Chains A and B, each alone.
Chain A
Amino acid sequence: MRRPSIALAGSALLACGLAACGGTSDNSASSVSLKPTTAGGDSANVSGMCAGTPRTGGSLVYARQSETQVLNPLEVRNGNGDIFAQELLFNGLVRSDPRGSFDIQPALADRWTISKDGRTYTFHLRPGVRFSNGQPVTTDDVKFSLDRFADPRVNTVLAAAAAGYDRTDIIDDATVAVHLRHPVAGFLYNISIFPAVITPKSLVEREGRGFWNKPVGTGPFTVSDFVRGSHITFRKNPNYWENGKPYLDQVRFDFATDSNTRLLSLKNGQAQIADGVPFSQIGSVQGTRGLQIQAVRAPLFVGLWMNNRRPGMDDVNVRQAMQYALDKDEINKAIFHGVGTSPNSVLPQFKFDGDDSQVAPYRLDLAKAKQLMSQSRYPDGFETTLQYPAGYDYYKQLGLFLQQSWAQLGIRVKLIEQDQATESQRFYPGDFDMTFPYAQFTSDVVVPDEYAQFVADPSNGLHGFYSWWSDPQVTSMVRQFTSSTSDAERAKLWPQIQRAMMVDSPWINVMDLPFVNAHADSVCNTTVNALGADHLENTWLAQ
């Protein structure tokens, strides 16, 4: 079972509800709720405190692993530390399902139509939506925001998401037509993420850079106080467009980069929710009365990159042998406290992924691995290096585990620990045999288009996503996949691409991981979308 379905999560919830496991230290029961769920709402109900109707009011303190540094979505500087704060402040025309499915939902546009050629999207604005300062959202604001999204001089972070954007035409007071230069299959997904949010044209133009200190958006919250390095406080946006939401009056993100500090403030009651629970401490949180773990499915994976030009990595037999020599279940148990899932793709989990019956994961098979090695150009093994980022105990453990596993094939791996900046500096020019390029490797979108193009579009200069691997057949399939306008066709194509890449394994996805959060039992309905961003407008506090 590659990915627990919603039905499974539901049944786990039922079992858990009867045993009232959330509030106890009953490990057998709470480990059930540990499986990545699609929606946090499930786990919150577990304690029984969250039965009944949501309560309005109260304030929530969230101990956060990554600091928020910048509130301008076009200038993200600190990854999810910035993005997840911005998600509380702004909305786009559409959004990723707040409850964690891969679906796109209406947001500021309540409906849209797509022309037959897939090149014109007509959006109808949701009537009556206002910014947090009370000013109505107009088609001018939409055009202004989308034009900025598509301008690589303004959107310095992710202008690639606007690939194919031509222009936005204002049809009337409530309708805009977005024209593309060519069909972009993932367009709705691309405008569902942070750089495509709608901001008030007049204010952004008038206030310039100052606007972003206390920005005005349509999101459920507004900024009331932002102290860099310490905390950011959000207050309820009274003009928010979803009826009755948000329930909370106030949310404060306390930046606590030290994981012990985060858990201490949670146990102390100073914070009611914390993210980035270290794998080694999941058990300790589960054993604490009144706290529960929430494992959230996210496009997060442990990507072990291989340089396909280097000796050993340049032979597909070797790469497959290395896959077969790994006991991923053991890695999951020993290093990730069992919260990971054994991947059947070299990329993170995406919409359109085939399940295990369509694309088989590599399972431990040492005999097969040795046979593949003997067929390869390196029957006696070889020497190689593995670089990993310093400061994460699980990368160190993982490095040792991999070193031992591959020693059985005669592959002698030298481990190199270096800081993250050095790691990425050596990654781009291909100065590595094997490397974990990013400590937290996540995708920005829930569809595979962006990463598929990184891998298989030779024109972007990324050298097969820095693996120096290429396959003309995959390239042409990806081209077809990313320009198709039929979801049915895309759903059929992607598993084929996924399989072709899995078979060739230009690199190894060691493990798919969830985001591991923890919160007090009294925090209800902690919804998280498929990108791992919290949707705190649905969250409320039980008495």
Chain B
Amino acid sequence: MLPYLLRRLAQSLVVLFGLAVVTFLIIHLVPGDPVQQMLGARATPHTVATVRLQLGLDRPLLAQFGSFVGDTVTGRFGDSITQSAPVGQLIGQRIAPSALLIAYGMLIALVIGVPLAIVAALRPNGFADNLIRVATTFSFAMPTFWLGLMLALLLGLELHVFPVSGYSGGIGGVLRTLTLPALTLGLSLSAIVVRTLRSSLLEVLQTEYIDAARARGLSERRVIGKHAMRNAVMGTITVLSVNLGFLIGGTVVIESVFQIPGLGSLLVQSVEHRDYQLVQTLALLAGATVVLVSLATDFLQAAIDPRIRLASA
């Protein structure tokens, strides 16, 4: 197990280094200059040159890459050029809202998705199944900005249950301000949960060991809950974990609709302003999360499914 773990970690480091190189090149090669963006119509060639010099943007690319790697390895992350603040501090302030939003949204997706998937799988092609499939297709196909606005209109503006936008910390604050955005996220993710879980449940329910379990006179609840779900849930976990990586920075639309100070909006803003340091660090962070999550997923699957445990042992 340990050599396997070490090998996976080493692979991850190579992946992350590759990611650093690629992000660095992409953001430096696309047209656009942070200083000109910052100064706008006031950008005379003289001021642009002065500011470039001050920010160290006049140095050769290799030197800039070197200091980016150095900053990252030492954990200092450098300064954001367009916000005049340390990158670490900027990201630190924004991690919590994003992480909570994603976790809360996933929770909602599971709470909505799992029961619906079971109901749908029990009577495939029945009325309930069709209704559920239509409804989830609908919620998945709706653009999140529209879904979010509709929820804000209904539950915020009309019913006054939640504020239409904004974010505040603490348990009460999170429940108040993040419920609508998490619901928006959860509704669109629940389609994924329902779809994957329903199809793998259907598959599992046709296997012989389910027949055997039923023949032993186990209650339907036990058959589904213990025997079928355990096998069927693997696919859903994999799909959700892949999505988790995507959601780091991928929640930007929801963040902007609900005015949540998260990583997604920071990333978009930093790309718009060509804030090299910030873009690179955020991309690296998202990459590291994906790598870590896929590692964790492997372990989780091993814990749930003895076959994986035995195979890798």
- Residue numbers of A with Cβ under 8 A of B are 67, 69-70, 72, 75-79, 152-153, 156-160, 227-231, 254-258, 260-261, 264-265, 267-268, 270, 419-422, 424-426, 428, 437-438, 441-444, 454, 460-462
Contact = CB atoms under 8 A, between A and B. Distances in A.
Contacts of A79: 40
A156 B157 contact: no
A268 B157 contact: yes
27 contacts: A67-B269, A69-B82, A69-B83, A72-B84, A78-B82, A227-B93, A229-B261, A229-B266, A230-B167, A256-B165, A257-B256, A260-B149, A261-B165, A265-B165, A268-B156, A268-B157, A270-B166, A421-B30, A421-B33, A421-B37, A425-B31, A426-B31, A428-B45, A438-B41, A441-B41, A460-B44, A462-B45
A454 B164 CA distance: 44
B259 interface: yes
B190 to A, nearest CB: 24
A426 B46 CA distance: 18
B201 to A, nearest CB: 39
Contacts of B40: 79, 424, 438
B36 A424 contact: yes
A217 B37 CA distance: 28
Interface in B78-96: 82-85, 90, 93-94
B51 interface: yes
Nearest to A160: B44
A422 B84 contact: no
Contact of A444 (B33, B42, B164): B42
B44 A228 contact: no
B265 interface: yes
B163 A270 contact: yes
B32 A228 contact: no
B43 interface: yes
A387 to B, nearest CB: 12
B152 interface: yes
Contacts of A153: 50, 54
Given A260-B257, A461-B44, 17 more contacts: A75-B84, A228-B93, A229-B265, A230-B259, A254-B166, A254-B259, A255-B261, A261-B256, A261-B257, A261-B258, A264-B165, A422-B31, A422-B32, A424-B32, A428-B45, A443-B41, A462-B44
A183 B161 CA distance: 62
A156 B54 contact: yes
Interface string B13-33: 000000000000000001111
Contacts of B305: none
B292 interface: no
B273 interface: yes
A159 B42 CA distance: 10
B111 interface: no
A274 to B, nearest CB: 11
B223 interface: no
A346 to B, nearest CB: 14
Nearest to A156: B51
Contacts of A438: 40-41
A261 to B, nearest CB: 5
B153 interface: yes
B31 A268 contact: no
B274 interface: yes
Contacts of B156: 264, 268
A255 B259 contact: yes
Nearest to A75: B84
Interface in B49-93: 50-51, 54, 82-85, 90, 93
Contacts of A152: 46-47, 50
Given A228-B93, A230-B167, A160 B47 contact: yes
Contacts of A258: 256-257, 259
A265 B256 CA distance: 13
A428 B32 CA distance: 11
Nearest to A418: B31
A78 B272 CA distance: 12
Nearest to B160: A268
B85 A261 contact: no
A77 to B, nearest CB: 5
Given A230-B261, A256-B259, A264 B31 contact: no
A149 to B, nearest CB: 14
Given A157-B39, A159-B47, A264-B152, A421 B31 contact: yes
B210 interface: no
Contacts of A67: 269
A265 B54 CA distance: 40
A420 B271 CA distance: 11
B38 interface: yes
A30 B256 CA distance: 31
A77 B32 contact: no
B164 A421 contact: no
Report the 9 A-B pairs with minimum CB-CB distance, sorted nearest first.
A421-B32, A229-B261, A230-B261, A425-B31, A422-B31, A264-B164, A258-B256, A268-B164, A69-B83
A77 B165 contact: no
Nearest to B42: A158
Given A157-B42, A270-B163, A425-B31, A228 B36 contact: no
Interface in B145-164: 149, 152-153, 156-157, 160, 163-164
A134 B46 CA distance: 39
Contacts of B46: 152, 461
A449 B311 CA distance: 77
Contacts of B167: 230
A256 B152 CA distance: 14
A260 B152 CA distance: 11
A454 B40 CA distance: 13
Nearest to B149: A260
Contacts of A268: 156-157, 160, 163-164
Interface in B258-281: 258-259, 261-262, 265-266, 269, 272-274
Contacts of B269: 67
A398 B274 CA distance: 27
B93 A229 contact: yes
Contact of B259 (A77, A261, A442): A261
Nearest to B273: A421
A104 B230 CA distance: 75
A429 to B, nearest CB: 10
A75 B85 CA distance: 12
A428 B33 CA distance: 11
A442 B46 CA distance: 21
Contacts of B43: 424, 428
Given A265-B165, A268-B156, A227 B47 contact: no
Nearest to B94: A229
Contact of B274 (A78, A270, A421, A426): A421
Nearest to A437: B41
Contacts of B45: 428, 461-462
A441 B262 CA distance: 29
Nearest to A431: B31
A442 B40 CA distance: 10
Contacts of A264: 149, 152-153, 156-157, 164-165
B53 to A, nearest CB: 10
A428 B37 CA distance: 11
A437 B84 CA distance: 25
Interface centre among B90, B163, B166, B265 (most CB of A within 10 A): B166
B130 to A, nearest CB: 34
Contacts of B38: 76-77
Interface string B226-258: 000000000000000000000000000000111
